[in-house]
Structure 1
Amino acid sequence: AELGDISNYSKPSQIIKFAGVAPLHYESSQFNAQHTSITKKGSKYLRKTLYQIILPVIRHNPVFTKYYQLKISQGKGHRCAQGHCVRKLIRIIYHLLKTNQQFDPQLLR
């Protein structure tokens, strides 16, 4: 409901940006930040809902659990790894809605 019509978006990165979960890029002159947060621009309701949804998804879906563990092993923090999983979930939801397919966990492997 918060997204509106899926046909308004031509790629999943637009939804990621709308939800405010896109990584923030910060640089100034010769300085380029190594550790940044998310943009937090866009729908705070959608962002909060996605972060609440991703916890049980990580806990109960083996593909997301593996992806979360991969990000943790790469040195990412808990919230950062969650953010990566949220963005992955958005890309999957976008694909399912655009192609009008049913969710099949076997296709995620």
Structure 2
Amino acid sequence: MLTIKGVGRDTVAGFFAEVGDLQEYSHPRQIIKLAGLSLKENTSGKHKGQTRITKRGRKKLRALLFRVCMIMVAKNSAFKALHAYYTQRPDNPLKKMQSLIALCNKLISIFYAIGKKQFEFSEEKMLKDIPHMRAKIEVETAA
């Protein structure tokens, strides 16, 4: 996890202090829910409200992930590209804060996969695993 550009010792220590042993979780969505980053829609009858994060979880974990994602958008090229895509995509662009929350969820998934399967992080592989980014990378390499 320390090989990821923008992630430091304090981040990894804080993550494990809040989450605990990753063997207790069967899917990264469980950690996302623990952090309070899962989405809910405020609806009532015919009224369709806004979709927001639940904030029903560990405040310190949520704050830690948000701060790390802000740093990673600035320093990590893969996260910077993903943030640019989320905020500038033609259909359903996200606001900057929404994009950072989506990146927090992505970071949880990456930490979970690295912790469970013990492999090295690769920015290129991460971007190729995302369908819309794979097409963008193929166009850039062909040019």
Would you call these one fold, judging by a TM-score over 0.5?
yes
Structure 1 range deviating more: 99-108 or 2-11: 99-108
Q: How far off its partner does 1:108 sit?
A: 1.4
Larger RCO (alpha carbons 8 Å, 6+ apart): 1
Percent identity for Structure 1 against Structure 2:
30
**Partner of 2:53: helix, strand, or coil?**
coil
2:132 is aligned with 1:85: no
Cα separation, 2, equivalents of 1:16 and 1:26: 19
2:25 is aligned with 1:31: no
Cα separation, 2, equivalents of 1:75 and 1:104: 26
Cα separation, 2, equivalents of 1:22 and 1:107: 25
Cα separation, 1, equivalents of 2:25 and 2:63: 20
Q: How far off its partner does 1:106 sit?
A: 3.2
Aligned counterpart, 1:68: 83
Task: Give the unaligned 5+ runs of structure 2.
Answer: 1-16, 128-143
- Structure (1 or 2) with the greater strand fraction: 2
Cα separation, 2, equivalents of 1:47 and 1:9: 18
AA in 1 matched with 2:33:
K
Report the TM-score, using the length of structure 1 for normalisation: 0.89
Report the TM-score, using the length of structure 2 for normalisation: 0.70
Task: Give the paired residue count.
Answer: 108
1:99 to 100, 103, 117: 117
Residue by residue over 1:55-94, the C-alpha shift from the partner in whole angstroms, topping out at 9 and shown as x without a partner, is 1111122221111111112432111110011111111111
Asked if the contact 2:78/2:124 (under 8 Å) is kept, the reply is no
**Partner of 1:42: helix, strand, or coil?**
coil
Cα separation, 1, equivalents of 2:85 and 2:120: 27
Aligned counterpart, 1:43: 58
